[in-house]
Amino acid sequence: MSRAWHIGPVKGNVQTSFLLPAYNEEALVARAVNSIHEAAKQCAANEYEIIVCDNASTDATARIARECGARVVREPHRQIARARNAAAAASTGSWLVWLDSDAILSAEVLNETLSAFRDGGFCGGGAQVELEGEALSWSVQRTVDSWNWIARTFRFAAGSYVFAHRQAWADTGGFDESVYAGEEIGFSRALKKWGSQRGLSFRVIDRAVPSSARKLRQFTVRQTLWQMAVCLWPGNLGRRDRLHFWYGRREEVGG
């Protein structure tokens, strides 16, 4: 279930907080953080902070993130929803942007995000999904295209990129900590409900946020489809041990 978040007075607050959940991301976290710096520079967005939530990493993720100019907070319980919320709770921005640590933020996506915030008519949103790094099979590309259609049509944010007003995150209770996957879908629904009560819309940016295609090397298409089916069984979203697609790197699955 979601927590009740209280927003108190914050000293030295910035306008935009970029929030990155990270577990053993020493190979990619620098790329993600540096992409934010570059995108912010191109958009002349000077009032920002980057917070990486080290979600029980056993590698150099935290050190590398600090070296790249991020502030690091720690969430010892390995759960993506908790990491997202912990980063937000430690932030000071009025505008919150969650980016996966294996993703890349472009100036184009950031510019449209900032425009949505400045417009005043949106409570939050997301962006399209793109897997980078290698050629995709027909079935995988069709799966990505199908998700992007669903996201545009029904207005859902993918976990790789989510943005929301700070007050919306607090009032809705943030990401649901009773589940270990799909928390971005629940948060999207909560945001849309919160927004509709205030005459605000939920926007899915028609540009992609590239993220690593490493899961294609870790799981076959059949294994991926099976994991999606497992998620549909009642109670499984609340069990991390049954969600290897999200929590198991190849060497860890079954361990």
Residues 107-163: pLDDT tens digits? 999 999 999 999 999 999 999 999 886 677 777 788 888 888 998 999 999 989 999
Q: Alpha-carbon distance 253 to 89, whole Å?
A: 31
What is the reported pLDDT for 163?
98
Determine contact, residues 165/94, Cβ cutoff 8 Å.
yes
At 184, the amino acid letter reads E
CATH 3.90.550.10 domain range(s) in the chain: 16-213
- Is the model's pLDDT at 227 over the cut of 80? no
Mean pLDDT of all residues belonging to the chain: 89
| Range with lowest mean pLDDT among 46-50, 168-172, 233-237 | 233-237
Q: Which of 1, 23, 6, 33 is nearest to 77 (CA)?
A: 23
Query: Residue 160's closest CA among 131, 117, 195, 202?
Result: 131
CATH for 16-213?
A: 3.90.550.10
* Adjacent-strand bridge partners of 18: 50, 97
Q: How far is CA 89 from the centre of its chain?
A: 15
User: How many beta carbons lie within 10 A of that of residue 5, not counting itself?
Assistant: 16
Dist CA 209 CA 161 (whole Å): 7
Residue with structure tokens 């759960």?
79
Listed in sequence order, the residues at least 6 apart from 127 whose beta carbon sits closer than 8 Å to its beta carbon are 109, 113, 157, 158, 160, 161, 204, 205, 207, 208, 209
| 99 neighbors 32 (Cβ within 8 angstroms) | yes
Q: Which amino acid is at 80?
A: I
Among candidates 93, 159, 90, 91, which has minimal Cα distance to 126? 159
**For residues 44-49, average pLDDT:** 95
User: For the chain, what's the residue count?
Assistant: 255
Q: If you average pLDDT over residues 213-220, what whole number do you get?
A: 74
Residues 158-216 pLDDT 10s: 989 999 999 999 999 999 999 988 999 999 999 999 999 999 999 999 999 999 878 77
